[in-house]
Amino acid sequence: MRVCFVSLCFYIFSRKTSSKVSSRDAFEKRLSELGNRGDAREADDEDNLSHSAAPKRKSAHNPAPTRACFEESMRSNSSTDFFDAFFHKALADVDEFQGFNVSKATLASIANRSGGKIGLYALQKHAIDDGKFGWNHVAGASEFWSTRDFHTYIREHVNEIAKNLPEDFKEAYFLINNYDEPQSMGVHCVDIDRLRKLHPNVGEGIVSPGDQAPVWSMSKVRGCHMDILFPFPDYFSHLRERKRSRDTPASPWSERPNDDIAFRGSTTGFGDATSNLRARALSALIDEPGFDVGLTVPIQGFQKSWAPHLFKNTMKAEDFRKFKFLMDIDGNAHSFNRQLLIAQSKAVMVRVNVFTDWIADGVMDEEFCYTIDPSDVLRSARAVRKTLLDDLERAEHVANAYHRLTRWLLRDEIVVRYLRDAFTRYVSNVRFVE
């Protein structure tokens, strides 16, 4: 089996980064959401990831999920190395709980006092010796709109997900966060005040390090929160769409007439005109040449009168298809759906993120996207735009690679393997006590 060459896959970071389309009409409706609401596929059957794999531990040297590594994986018809590199950070989060003794009573208490934010679930092996498993609600909120698809998917695939658990496994408990924002504050988050200035939705959550209670969430601020990441709701909707349809034709990237970096979206997220991340970023770019940005709808308490100059008319799908570059900016937490819609449109994603999610850590800057520093938006945005315009050929390669990457991600074998690896590590690391 061919693997990624070391010279292609090992990448040393030199700088710190924050890091149903069944018809054309349906696609246009979804793409238009880029400008109308807050949050936001010719695929190769490159390989089969259904094989068993023992949970991997962190090592001193880890391959990076570069474009070259991805393409080599596709050519070799085996993406094991790329999978391990792409999900390295997300899976390594599980290992932070190695050796934890976790109280079942504490987990139930947290779920019950969370006010619907958190539900407690149990992965359980059937009492009868049939090798089957169940995913059962125990305490707190049984489900929320944002986690309904996740629980449904677990139940449908639970035996595949649990196939690598030890023979003597009986049960394990999972706190599932229903909200966008993370809930588990890390002991090493010493700069939360600075992070709140970047995005006012950064918070401590309701679970402290002293609780010794792992929380599974859809987003986190890396270095600040201890939440373990699971797939967000828009992932499952795009996964269903991909099974029902193929790509809707988009105009060739190089023929798109507009070189501006575009954004339209609501004011989702906390804060006012100076602290809301979207308002703050767009304030820096609203008059900047080469950027076509604007807010469309004030929501979550934001008043249009606070920054009337930031509001513009929404864009239709056909308008967005004229742009080579589209921006992704965090909403309440990470902007889940927008990143997938940008990939679907085959544009370059230029992101302004404080939060991350289960796939975003693997989407490397200048490999599959370009990143604007949320702490210095104008300077960083100018540098990114210069980089893009100085090498349009590379930018096109980045856009195409990101499109192919998301098509690889939107496959059952990918999410099943991720959950299998994460759950297997979790069971290996954590001991549940009365």
pLDDT tens, position by position, for the chain (434 residues)?
A: 444 544 344 343 333 343 333 444 554 555 555 655 444 333 333 333 333 334 445 444 678 999 999 999 999 988 899 999 999 999 999 999 999 999 999 999 999 999 999 999 999 999 877 789 999 999 999 989 999 999 999 999 999 999 999 999 999 999 999 999 999 998 888 889 999 999 999 999 999 998 999 999 999 999 999 999 999 999 999 999 988 876 667 789 999 999 999 999 999 999 999 999 999 999 999 999 999 999 999 999 999 999 999 999 999 888 888 999 999 999 999 999 999 999 999 999 999 999 999 999 999 999 999 999 999 999 999 999 999 999 999 999 999 999 999 999 999 999 999 999 999 999 999 999 98
- d(CA 269, CA 262) in angstroms, rounded, equals 19
What lies within 8 Å, CB to CB, of 152 at 6+ separation is none
Domain residue spans of the chain: 97-235+413-433, 246-409
Residues 246-409, CATH architecture: 3-Layer(aba) Sandwich (3.40)
390's torsion region: left (phi>0), alpha (psi -120 to 50) or beta? alpha
Length of the chain: 434
- Residue recorded with tokens 């540098």: 383
Q: Which helix (H) or strand (E) holds 253?
A: none
Nearest to 141 by CA among 191, 172, 103, 178: 178
Two tokens, residue 214: 């792992």
Per DSSP bridges, beta strands 228-229 and 215-217 are parallel
Residues 6+ apart with CB under 8 A from 257: 322
Amino acid in position 369: C
What is the DSSP track for 138-195? EEE-S--HHHHHHHHHHHHHHHHHTTTS-TT--EEEEEEE-SSS--BB-TT---HHHH
The one-letter amino acid code at 321 reads: R
Inter-residue contact 372 to 366 (CB < 8 Å): no
Q: Could you report the per-residue pLDDT of 269-314, keeping only the tens digit for each?
A: 999 999 999 999 999 999 999 999 999 999 999 999 999 999 999 9
User: What are the CA-CA distances from residue 252 to residues 157, 261, 292, 323 (Å)?
Assistant: 38, 17, 20, 11
Closest CA relative to residue 328, chosen from 369, 368, 288: 369
